[in-house]
């Protein structure tokens, strides 16, 4: 059994690779909901939608979000009525938001609504929101205290970031099944998502980080930082704002208290070597010692996604006492 | 100033004729909301939408409801998710429902939401829902106690009708402006809408029928019954179920306590003659005596709508003591 923690478009690509090589029933996807927003009064959960559309084979590959081949007639009509349109919901995509909003209004939890939407889309893989409580990623900038989607989509992540916080996290509980999925898994994977705003909100839900520290599962993360910069999006800016190095070492620090294996891009081989030496010395890292595995991590094509998923699974399945296997990579 | 009471597609056509010959600011449209429904969790007000789209020049002429040239991609996506699709909302139409639902969720009244939607559509004519309270037309049939849209749209008005009632009417109040619009108008027009389920709910709101009885405005109705049958829809069945004759005499009875002028189709000239004689005899009819005016009322083309509106206004403006004018028609 494999449990994946994910958020954002990089996460969805990684899950796409996994779904080709892991049976649907053996995967559980725990998804960031810190980006969730009320849009035109509808409850939108962008990261859950991306994972659901990806697993259903409906995700737009060109855009990386929304439904393949979608149209935007409702959006245009909203524009004509003077309503905001910076968050672009296509006509087909809208069905998901309307349906979810109805389920929540009927008193269902976000987990239950997610399960129902996944079922209607024919998805066999279990998708769990990190929490059924509202945990909202807030980005403090000179322009104001923004929601993540305001910062990321509306303002193109151009604002300097002073602080990232997860409003509501302290009072939140993990959604049903999340802790168990971490504790009972053979392998927990952290997708190459933004550590601060995609994985960070998940880790901020009380009990999840503890479960990661305590689980007997191997835990592997794929670094979204390659060559000292984020593959896409504002991960670099946000890591720096949170006081982490924008490097694979920064990612190792971010996950250091529970990580067994960090998968980094082949071009980071020298940095990986330095990190291995540090891991051997640094007792603050997990007692088992964190391993580092180098492999191509940039997912341009569908084959890249599958190759990365395979490489991560292979590396994670190596016995922890086989450094030679890592050196081969 | 002219106040129109209306509902349904016949009402929207009649208003279309009026808008071509009456300045927008001189018209107030009081609209049936007994058909309103929660659809996919969204608040849909079919009769308000038809009037708003008609006044904005956006109503689909082919369908008689919804937005001209609309697409149904969201509906199809809903169908794929196993959701009901018998009430067909197009992608552009959906924007109105989403926007209204948001306004209501934000605490606005239906009147305020209607005014805001009308403003965004560039509509100058005042559109008033009959009430801001929920008044729901319920149709009791052997198949169950149906909402109007279930009876009309989902089941194609094939069920025998045992009873029509307006749930919530007793506790409802007229929306702000409705009573004043009736009392201060020079002319009140009842569109050729279904008397039972389009005008009936309006009359069921406490205070409205009284205002019609007491206003100094002339009150004219266009009969939706022509040649002993409804022009479209279930008006005949429903009138019979409510104990009214399916004829212009039945319509006269329905509105008899406040009506000054009944406009009927030219093919009903013999029935109109009989009705005039009855009106002269029947003291239960309004003291002024109800007049009957014959003119073509079937609205096939845009010109028909304008011609009917003109004919109604001309007849209504005749002094009540000039029977010769009526005979000319």
Tens place of pLDDT per residue across chain B (329 aa): 999 999 999 999 999 999 999 999 999 999 999 999 999 999 999 999 999 999 999 999 889 899 999 999 999 999 999 999 999 999 999 999 999 999 999 999 999 999 999 999 999 999 999 999 999 999 999 999 999 999 999 999 999 999 999 999 999 999 999 999 999 999 999 999 999 999 999 999 999 999 999 999 999 999 999 999 998 889 999 999 999 999 999 999 999 999 999 999 999 999 998 888 877 766 555 455 789 999 999 999 999 999 999 999 999 998 765 444 444 44
Q: What is the mean pLDDT of residues A206-218?
A: 97
pLDDT tier, A289 (very low <50, low <70, confident <90, very high otherwise): confident
Which domains does chain B show, CATH number per domain? 1-35+124-329 (3.40.50.10680)
CB B92 within 8 A of CB A83: no
- B2: helix, strand or coil: strand
Of the pLDDT bands very low, low, confident and very high (cuts 50, 70, 90), residue A322 is very low
**pLDDT over 70 for what percent of chain A?**
94
> Contacts of residue B96 in chain A, CB cutoff 8 Å?
77, 81
Q: What is the pLDDT of residue A310?
A: 98
Interface test with A, best of B91, B114, B120 (most A CBs within 10 A): B91
Residues of B in contact with A91 (CB under 8 A): 71, 73-74, 77, 91, 94
Closest CA to B256 of B227, B225, B221, B302: B221
Q: What whole-number distance in Å separates Cα of residue B14 and Cα of residue B293?
A: 16
Q: B102 contacts in A (CB within 8 Å)?
A: 40-41
| ipTM confidence score | 0.87
Say yes or no for a CB contact (<8 Å) between A98 and B98: yes
HSE-up of residue A138 (Cα within 13 Å, Cβ side): 13
State the distance between the two ends of chain A, measured CA to CA, in whole angstroms: 25
**What is the rounded average pLDDT for all residues in chain A?**
93
Q: Looking at chain A, which residue has its C-alpha nearest residue B76?
A: A92
Chains A and B form CB pairs within 8 A to the count of: 97
Q: Is B11 exposed, middle or buried (0-12, 13-18, 19+ CB in 10 A)?
A: buried
The two beta strands, A261-265 and A27-31, are unpaired
Count of positions (residues) in chain B? 329
Which pair of tokens denotes residue A127? 């998708």
Rounded Cα gap, residues B178 and B172, in angstroms: 13
Please tell me the distance in Å from B163's CA to the nearest CA on chain A: 30
User: What pLDDT does B283 receive?
Assistant: 59
Note the pLDDT of residue B327.
46
Q: Which of B71, B77, B102 sits opposite A95 (nearest CB)?
A: B77
Asked if A96's CB is within 8 angstroms of B81's CB, the reply is yes
Q: Do B80 and A106 touch (CB under 8 A)?
A: no
């Amino acid at each position: 059994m494999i449990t994946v923690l994910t958020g954002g478009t990089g996460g969805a690509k990684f899950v796409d690779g996994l779904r080709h090589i892991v049976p649907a029933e053996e995967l559980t996807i725990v998804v960031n909901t810190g980006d969730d927003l009320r849009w035109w009064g509808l409850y939108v959960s962008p990261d859950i939608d991306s994972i659901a559309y990806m697993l259903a084979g409906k995700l737009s590959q060109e855009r990386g979000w929304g439904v393949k081949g979608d149209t935007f007639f409702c959006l245009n009509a909203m524009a004509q009525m003077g309503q905001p349109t910076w968050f672009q919901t296509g006509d087909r995509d809208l069905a998901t938001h309307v349906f979810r909003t109805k389920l929540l209004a009927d008193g269902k939890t976000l987990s239950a609504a997610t399960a129902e939407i996944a079922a209607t889309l024919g998805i066999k893989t279990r998708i769990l929101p990190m929490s059924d409580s509202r945990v909202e990623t807030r980005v403090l900038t000179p322009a104001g205290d923004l929601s993540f989607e305001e910062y990321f989509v509306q303002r193109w992540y151009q604002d300097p970031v002073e602080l990232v916080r997860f409003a509501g996290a302290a009072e939140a509980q993990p959604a049903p099944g999340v802790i168990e999925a971490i504790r009972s898994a053979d392998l927990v994977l952290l997708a190459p998502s933004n550590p601060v705003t995609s994985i960070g909100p998940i880790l901020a839900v009380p009990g999840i980080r503890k479960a990661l520290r305590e689980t007997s599962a191997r835990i592997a993360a794929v670094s979204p930082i390659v060559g000292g910069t984020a593959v896409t999006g504002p991960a670099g800016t946000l890591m720096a704002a949170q006081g982490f190095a924008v490097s694979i070492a920064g990612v190792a620090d971010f996950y250091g208290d529970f990580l067994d294996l960090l998968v980094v891009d082949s071009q980071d081989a020298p940095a990986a070597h330095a990190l291995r030496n540090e891991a051997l010395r640094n007792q603050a890292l997990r007692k088992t010692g964190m391993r580092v595995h180098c492999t191509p991590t940039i997912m341009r094509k569908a084959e890249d996604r599958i190759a990365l998923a395979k490489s991560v699974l292979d590396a994670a399945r190596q016995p922890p006492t086989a450094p030679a296997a890592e050196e081969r990579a």
